[in-house]
Amino acid sequence: MAVGQAIADGQMIRYGTGANFTARFEEELCDYIGAGHALTVNSGTNALVAALAAAGIGPGDEVLVPAYTWMSTAVAPVQVGAVPILVDIDETLTIDPEDIRRKITPYTRAIIPVHMVNAPCDMDAILSIAKEHGLIVIEDACQAVGVRYKDKYCGAIGDLGAFSFNKFKNVNIGEGGAVITNDERYYIRARSYHDLGSMIRGHGDRMNEPEFIGMNMKVTEIQGAMLRVQLRKLKPVMRQMQKRRAELAGILDTAKDFRVTPHNDLAHAVSLSVLAPTKEKAIALTGQRGVFNRLRDSSKHVYTNWEPLMAKRTFHPKMNPWSWAKREITYTPDMCARTLDILDRTCIINLGLKYPAPLMQMVARKLAA
């Protein structure tokens, strides 16, 4: 119905006198996650690129990214002329604060912690390291829309955040994303960047920067209309996930062959995975009714499968950020061996929300036995 209204309005772009679906979605998203500003863009990847551009990250800068994430997180810095530096994850499946410390150089400008598979990063530790070293924190919350970390929502904790609304995400409209920030200057720079650096079309207000060249990352009002509907479904789904996660984790905690992975905020946990003592035991678990999926098998979420990045291959040899980086950067398949070991042994658990709780509890009891 919302889409029908967007079409009937005949006002397909966000600027104009129509229903302003996209602008209303942004207000509702800000209210939901407690953020000052949200800017809807056409993908999570572009949300990361716009966030980096807004923060002024560019040539010569190094950006710390985890070795376990969708390839977009590592590609986004390249799009603004910076280089990604890979950091190990820990057993929580998120970037390891201790390895962040080891990877910081005089050229590090930003950290992109990624809240993977709905599991929040150790944001207290990350923010404290960032403060100590004067680094910008851009949360990749593409896989964690609506996920809590203590008293805040993922994406609204660091300097900037990125959401994805693609088909596999908690808020899903096929393709889409958003940049989140509490900083007015970053918001306005992101807003300019996402529309070719334009000051027209209502972008003249609160302008705090001279125009600079940007991209076209805008969404249509149809996407805005769909997003408003999808956002309304988020809270009940997250509540259901939290309840189901607690029920299943309680049962799986009794298993002898594996243990439930640690989590950075158990009180609000919606993500469930288990860690086996060996790779072989994890492989054996994956056969179990499609409930367990081993993370090492998750394609381009594992850095060793980021072929173009590992080869430092860009569309044009002269547009290659590694050629102007301040030091030689090399990527090797064994550079984040700890991450590979954890991914080898970790299986994500499907919470099975489509199935009744007693059925999933029975499956969990069998697996734990």
Ligand X SMILES: Cc1ncc(COP(=O)(O)O)c(C=O)c1O
Does 304 help bind ligand X (rule: CB under 6 A)? no
| Residue 299 or 330 with smaller CB distance to ligand X | 299
Task: Tell me which residues in 141-160 interact with ligand X (CB under 6 A).
Answer: 142-143
Tokens representing 270 are 């919606």
Does 45 help bind ligand X (rule: CB under 6 A)? yes
| Residue 343 or 367 with smaller CB distance to ligand X | 343
| Residue 96 or 360 with smaller CB distance to ligand X | 96
Give the C-alpha distances (Å, rounded to integers) separating 4 from 92, 173, 176: 43, 15, 19
Does 22 help bind ligand X (rule: CB under 6 A)? no
| Residue 69 or 339 with smaller CB distance to ligand X | 69
Among 40, 43, 92, 198, contact with ligand X (rule: CB under 6 A): 43
Tokens representing 328 are 């030689």
256 is catalytic: no
- Binding track over 261-280 against ligand X, x by CB under 6 A: --------------------
Q: State how far the Cα of 241 lies from the Cα of 244, in Å rounded to an integer.
A: 5
Q: Give the range of 41-49, 276-284, 340-348, 358-366 binding ligand X by CB under 6 A.
A: 41-49
Task: Please give the helix or strand (H or E) that residue 301 lies within, else none.
Answer: none
**CB 352, CB 272: distance < 8 Å:** no
Tokens representing 304 are 């060793």
DSSP 8-state assignment for residue 302: B
Q: Which residue of this chain has its Cβ atom nearest to ligand X in the complex?
A: 44
Phi and psi torsions of 40, nearest 5° = -80, 135
Indicate which residue of 103, 131, 152, 169 is catalytic: 169
Does 72 help bind ligand X (rule: CB under 6 A)? yes
Report helix angle 44-54 to 184-193, nearest 10: 120
Q: State how far the Cα of 79 lies from the Cα of 318, in Å rounded to an integer.
A: 13
60 CB-near residues (< 8 Å, 6+ apart)? 82, 107, 324, 325, 326
Among 32, 33, 61, 69, contact with ligand X (rule: CB under 6 A): 69
Q: Which residues are catalytic?
A: 169
Binding site for ligand X (CB under 6 A): 43-45, 69-70, 72-73, 114, 140, 142-143, 164, 166, 177
